[in-house]
Structure 1
């Protein structure tokens, strides 16, 4: 018998911390969920498998020989394609899962921050959120009403007719598309060298193939379900949404929250990322270190030191401002009025 729901993702040892936070945050905000959690892998250490399985009875599935062979053929013809191509194409494997009424795929470099049950219950066969191309097309509609020049948008994934495109980091797919016909249809595109020669080398992989194959079949949702700091202002201005509205935050791009960044480095490189990184770190702390008494004691000591010392000090810049603008009080003449 088919189970109602499945949460699926892709991981490797370099992304395992992200996957753990994804699973933990999903279960935290979706306590109703009793379906399967499927993680597609090429290779994953036994330690990381145990780490992920500690939160839920995860099903680990290795990539199929069909996709492995197709990927090897592609790399033989185009050896300059990105080194992690085989991992990125693992998301296509969701289409060979036949046991579910609705499957939700979330990238491992993301975290849930609210309930997404309505996504699983949606009557739509394929839900996804806009990618950067789609937001740029929407932005140009806005820019037409202003003195600003229109954005120069390249052809989306090399296709003239693709405008309403989506990011593959969030997808909700019903059993209508979890069929061998659609699996074979998408996988066959891996062998179409014309798609890869100009655009695959730039980084587009599974997302390119899925957009080409499923064009005109996808219902687009707003940025709440795939809130990407990388395109924060597009989501702010075009969807009228902020971080407080987000249900799934997706760290698309090169900045991954489990890397050991210094805050000053992020403030210089991408200051708007800092609030997202702190939020992810809070969930990671809750997920992995909540029962560590030594860690808790260290954090309490830090907190005490700050509240008793640093927290009582006014920043120097504010002191300077207050001194600069602090004027002596003038005597006030009180006039009795009848």
Structure 2
């Protein structure tokens, strides 16, 4: 995480009312740092840990829950240091991908199980179970068996069982992974609604960037045990901190590029096919090599006029796919790489496979990322 992001976390901590804080947390498995010096803070919000397999996101969730210890750092929940506190004494509950409902208990029995362990009165248990069934929209299903429920309904029971104990933090480890695509999209909306209604911290682990973009108030992107960037979904999408993040969040065109010069209008770039371009962004060292990033929806293509000289990028339409509200074009470049362009239906010019096209984009829509230097 960058110094600017760290300072931003400190300055907004009071107003956000942070519930979970991880302070320089490190966790080793053997010689490998599964979580490497992670500092982050979560308020009463929907907060997603997003990253590829092996990035450390599930390890981080287990650390918050208390299922995994740490080698360095501090875990704070609701203002209390819980670093050495066992899971059953932490004010958080976890919902896993496998819902682990008791098949011999009814819906109400599953939800009430934890409350009975706390020796609450029968009246208090009935009241809480009834309220949480209303919350997850399962009122009237309390006597049904888990076997009689759909996948989505079983997940709601698992959520209700976790929420009925009124935790300060709800931890969710890819709970939608077992659902089909249509049900999954519906449950994304339901989870977001639940978080807004109960007003507690939801910490959600996923490798699905679309899922994170749809539901999250903020996202922490992880890679190799480290937090790479933290921010609101639109900010990360529009301002990725690296080529990895640009490629991981949404779809991006990443083209080999070299910095020719820096001026007030931006950075002058030479692309691998020999074309020139200008991009906005922080100054870069002249001669440095890296990747130019531009989103497909920002790419403008037009049939090439052979009489028009220029040093811009050209290509040939390789394929096109009509998507309803837009058309997706695959463009082959002279160096045998390719770009993707997406046009909405306002474009009337017809383009077919084999057509030669000019390719451009607004300078503000493109970013230059220097090549990452590997540590010795």
Q: TM-score, normalised by structure 2?
A: 0.25
Q: TM-score, normalised by structure 1?
A: 0.27
Structure showing the higher strand proportion among its residues: 2
Structure showing the higher helix proportion among its residues: 1
